[in-house]
């Protein structure tokens, strides 16, 4: 008797579902003129009835069962797309930070994304490099990484590299700049300018560079004849191992070549040199900016002479390096 009652009421329920199902199809037909008009609420109705009405395929007249199955699949995708939507994301930065990023990019057209990000970090803003990239429309190119990575990481504190940089003057004469670079913090420890460098002059620059600092264990240089035998002998007498790069292999002195490239792109390509004293004065100003204020990608956005992170005070800027760059800092009230 219990089974009979259950089957009786189930049959009655299915009969009611079938009536509703057929009425819905008649409603759609009465609504349509020539072309069948099926709205989203109709699709939802058929999708729901598919799950609760057992004989829905036999009662379906105006459309094919495969169409209802496709509607169900689309509804499944929409539901789980809504269910798995991201309600949280990366926190938005303030308008002050956005304006500061755009200002830095505008004031310093020679800067790339990492340089701007380094300055932002030094001003106490904790944002990612990708966030800076989002608000900077012009992206400068970046050079590739260095060679000899394992050697340089293990012995960077004991290595100094040197190289000559040629600079033309306004009357097309050549000036030679000898640069001494410490690999530990990419710091320029000494430089000098000459119009006629000799082996004796280069040797004297070596003595000046090492006068008030500890001697490194390794010195990397190329095969330039301006060094000569006297220079090599002095290096050996100081207890330094001289590493001479292979012929036409500037990549073996990668750190120094990278610094020279930065000097050209960021400074010398934008000035006209008058004479030796003028060049020495210009480079002295730029190297102060390079060592104490410029952020470096290889130093985790810090300067060779480490800059403290400032979080308190009004943000100010100061033109440096002959006005080609700006230094941003916080001024206490």
CA distance 294 to 259: 12
The pLDDT tens digits for 54-101 are 677 777 777 777 887 787 778 778 777 777 765 565 667 888 899 999
Other CB atoms within 10 A of residue 311 CB: 10
Closest C-alpha among 145, 141, 183 to residue 163: 183
The answer to whether residue 125 scores a pLDDT higher than 70 is yes
315 in the same domain as 241 = no
CATH number at residue 270: 3.30.420.10
Instruction: Decide if 326 is inside a domain.
Output: yes
Domain limits at 25? 2-81
Structure tokens at 63: 């459309």
- On whether both 201 and 282 belong to a single domain, the answer is yes
Task: Let me know if residue 87 belongs to a domain.
Answer: no
For strand 241-244 and strand 218-221, is the pairing parallel, antiparallel, or unpaired?
parallel
Shared domain for 231 and 195, answered yes or no, is yes
Cα–Cα distance measured from residue 282 to residue 273, given in angstroms and rounded to the nearest whole number:
9
Specify which residues 191 forms β-bridges with: 179
Look at the chain and report how many structural domains it folds into.
3
- Residue with tokens 């938005």, as numbered in its chain: 92
- Reduced 3-state DSSP string for 83-107: HCCCCCCCCCCCHHHHHHHHHHHHH
Asked if 244 contacts 221 with a C-beta cutoff of 8 angstroms, the reply is: yes
Q: What is the tens place of the pLDDT at every residue in 130-149?
A: 889 888 864 444 434 445 56
In 3-state terms, what secondary structure has residue 6?
Answer: helix
Give tens-digit pLDDT for 15-35: 777 788 788 878 877 877 777
One domain, residues 154 and 288: yes
Query: How sure is the predictor about 7, in pLDDT bands with cuts at 50, 70 and 90?
Result: low
Whether the CB-CB separation of 319 and 261 falls below 8 Å is answered with no
pLDDT at residue 100, rounded to an integer:
92
**What is the rounded distance in angstroms from the CA atom of residue 312 to the CA atom of residue 129?**
22
Is residue 37 domain-resident?
yes
By DSSP bridging, strand 174-182 and strand 159-168 are antiparallel
Q: Annotate 20-81 with three-state secondary structure.
A: HHHHHHHHHHHHCCCCCCCCHHHHHHHHHHHHHCCCHHHHCCCCCHHHHHHHHHHHHHHHHH
Alpha-carbon gap, residue 27 to 37, rounded angstroms = 10
Q: Which of 260, 293, 55, 31 is nearest to 164 (CA)?
A: 260
Residue 118 bridge partners (DSSP) = none
């Amino acid at each position: 008797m219990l089974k009979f009652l259950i089957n009786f009421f189930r049959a009655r329920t299915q009969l009611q579902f079938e009536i509703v199902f057929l009425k819905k199809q008649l409603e759609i037909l009465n609504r349509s003129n020539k072309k069948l008009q099926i709205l989203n609420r109709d699709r939802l109705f058929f999708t729901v009835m598919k799950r609760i009405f057992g004989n829905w395929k036999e009662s379906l007249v105006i459309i094919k069962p495969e169409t209802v199955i496709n509607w169900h699949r689309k509804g499944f995708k929409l539901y789980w797309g809504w269910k798995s939507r991201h309600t949280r994301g990366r926190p938005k930065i303030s308008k002050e930070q956005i304006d500061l990023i755009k200002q830095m990019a505008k004031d310093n057209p020679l800067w790339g994304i990492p340089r701007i990000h380094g300055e932002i970090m030094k001003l106490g803003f904790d944002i990612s490099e990708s966030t800076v990239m989002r608000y900077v429309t012009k992206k400068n190119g970046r050079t590739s990484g260095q060679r000899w990575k394992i050697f340089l990481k293990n012995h960077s504190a004991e290595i100094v590299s040197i190289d000559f940089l040629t600079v033309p003057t306004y009357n097309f004469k050549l000036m030679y700049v000898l640069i001494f670079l410490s690999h530990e913090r990419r710091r320029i420890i000494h430089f000098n300018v000459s119009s006629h460098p000799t082996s004796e002059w280069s040797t004297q620059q070596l003595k000046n560079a090492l006068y008030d600092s500890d001697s490194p264990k390794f010195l990397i240089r190329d095969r330039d004849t301006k060094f000569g035998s006297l220079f090599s002998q002095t290096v050996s007498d100081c207890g330094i191992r001289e590493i001479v790069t292979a012929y036409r292999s500037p990549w073996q002195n990668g750190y120094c070549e990278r610094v020279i490239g930065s000097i050209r792109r960021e400074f010398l390509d934008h000035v006209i040199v008058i004479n030796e004293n003028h060049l020495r004065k210009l480079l002295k100003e730029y190297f102060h900016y390079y060592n104490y204020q410029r952020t470096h990608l290889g130093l985790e956005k810090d300067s060779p002479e480490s800059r403290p992170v400032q979080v308190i005070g009004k943000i100010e800027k100061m033109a440096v390096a002959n006005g080609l760059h700006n230094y941003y800092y916080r001024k206490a009230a």
